[in-house]
């Protein structure tokens, strides 16, 4: 049930996966071009160096293609294989900036690519969720400070318990939901404080609420730590009195909890 509700937030995965495939094929094409160049009889002095370069380029490209296949396999079979984590990690870390650049070249909005990446990441985490199943104190919930009512006088970024649960923003419901389950909650101001929160609690899994940009960069930073990303709602514009779909949040938590 939790999985069904959680997956209502679907965004096409094919945008990110298609761009990842395009980048891998471009790399393969460039390697092939390099190989043809090396075979040119006029290239004599630098042939050894170019051969070495071609070999490494081919090796990396094949690794990235295997990484892409591992991502697709994980999502389609809804199961993870432990040895594939490293491959997926390296593929995403190396190719993600190129994916964004290729998307930019093709006039695909960055936010759309980030949404698609978050969906791909969530599906991979969900694929491993049945085996992962963490205890309540091993799960960390991360929220952006823009979720707090802008006129609230209480500082909750260092001490979330400072919230008086007045109901002017969703923190009251979030704290009720998390204290019922005994979860760690942190309200963070950005990437650095999110990383500090992860170092402080050393969780086995994270459910993070944020905008597309913060979520995607946070996921890449902390990979292979399983992070389910829930994109926030911005009825009053970015970074101001944002909200989260509590049903989706609850479903993400339930999917990871024992």
Considering the complex, state which of residue 185 and residue 206 has its C-beta at the smaller distance from ligand SF4: 185
Contacts with ligand SF4, 119-148, as mask; x by CB under 6 A: -----------------------------x
Point out which residues pair with 77 in neighbouring strands. none
* From 1-9, 56-64, 68-76, 165-173, span contacting ligand SF4 (CB under 6 A): 165-173
Check residue 166 for interaction with ligand SF4 (CB under 6 A): yes
Report which DSSP code applies to 233. B
Edge-first strand order for the sheet with 205-210 is 184-188, 139-144, 205-210, 227-231
Considering the complex, state which of residue 168 and residue 217 has its C-beta at the smaller distance from ligand SF4: 168
CB 230, min distance to ligand SF4, A: 18
Identified binder of ligand SF4 from the candidate list 171, 197, 205, 249, rule CB under 6 A: 171
The residue behind tokens 């994916």 is: 99
Check residue 232 for interaction with ligand SF4 (CB under 6 A): no
The residue behind tokens 């006088």 is: 153
CB 173, min distance to ligand SF4, A: 8
Report which DSSP code applies to 137. G
Considering the complex, state which of residue 175 and residue 207 has its C-beta at the smaller distance from ligand SF4: 175
Check residue 39 for interaction with ligand SF4 (CB under 6 A): no
Nearest residue by C-beta to ligand SF4? 152
Residue 25's alpha-carbon distances to 62, 133, 238, in angstroms, are: 10, 36, 36
Considering the complex, state which of residue 120 and residue 142 has its C-beta at the smaller distance from ligand SF4: 142
Considering the complex, state which of residue 54 and residue 148 has its C-beta at the smaller distance from ligand SF4: 148
Q: Which of 58, 27, 52, 51 is nearest to 37 (CA)?
A: 51
Check residue 172 for interaction with ligand SF4 (CB under 6 A): yes
b/e per residue 141-160 (b: at least 16 CB within 10 A)? bbbbebbbbeeeeeebeeeb
Residue 179 to residue 202: CA distance in whole angstroms: 19
Tell me whether residue 223 is exposed, middle or buried, using C-beta atoms within 10 angstroms of its C-beta: 0 to 12, 13 to 18, 19 or more.
middle
Report which DSSP code applies to 168. S
Identified binder of ligand SF4 from the candidate list 75, 88, 108, 169, rule CB under 6 A: 169
Check residue 178 for interaction with ligand SF4 (CB under 6 A): no
Phi/psi for 104 (5° steps) reads -65, -45
Considering the complex, state which of residue 7 and residue 168 has its C-beta at the smaller distance from ligand SF4: 168
* From 56-64, 95-103, 162-170, 246-254, span contacting ligand SF4 (CB under 6 A): 162-170
Residue 85 to residue 69: CA distance in whole angstroms: 12
How many positions of this chain bind ligand SF4 (CB under 6 A)? Answer: 14
Residues that bind ligand SF4 (CB under 6 A): 148-149, 152, 154, 156, 163-169, 171-172
């Amino acid at each position: 049930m939790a999985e069904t509700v959680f997956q209502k937030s679907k965004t096409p995965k094919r945008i990110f996966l298609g761009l990842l495939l395009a980048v891998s094929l471009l790399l393969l094409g460039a390697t092939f071009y390099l190989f043809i160049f090396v075979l040119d009889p006029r290239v004599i002095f630098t042939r050894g160096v170019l051969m070495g370069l071609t070999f490494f380029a081919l090796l990396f490209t094949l690794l990235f293609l295997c990484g892409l296949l591992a991502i697709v396999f994980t999502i389609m079979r809804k199961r993870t294989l432990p040895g594939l984590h490293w491959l997926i990690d390296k593929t995403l870390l190396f190719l993600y900036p190129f994916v964004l650049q290729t998307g930019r070249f093709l006039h695909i909005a960055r936010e759309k690519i980030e949404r698609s990446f978050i969906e791909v990441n969530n599906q991979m985490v969900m694929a491993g969720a049945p085996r992962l199943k963490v205890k309540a104190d091993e799960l960390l919930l991360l929220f952006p400070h823009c979720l707090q009512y802008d006129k609230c006088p209480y500082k909750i970024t260092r001490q979330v318990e400072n919230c008086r649960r007045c109901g002017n923003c969703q923190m009251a419901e979030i704290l009720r939901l998390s204290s019922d389950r005994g979860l760690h909650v942190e309200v963070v101001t950005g990437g650095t404080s999110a990383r500090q929160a992860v170092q402080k609690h050393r969780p086995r899994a994270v459910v993070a609420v944020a905008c597309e940009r913060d979520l995607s960069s946070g996921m890449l930073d902390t990979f292979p730590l399983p992070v389910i990303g829930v994109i926030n709602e911005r009825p009053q514009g970015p970074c101001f009195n944002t909200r989260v779909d509590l049903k989706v949040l609850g479903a993400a938590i339930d999917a990871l909890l024992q």
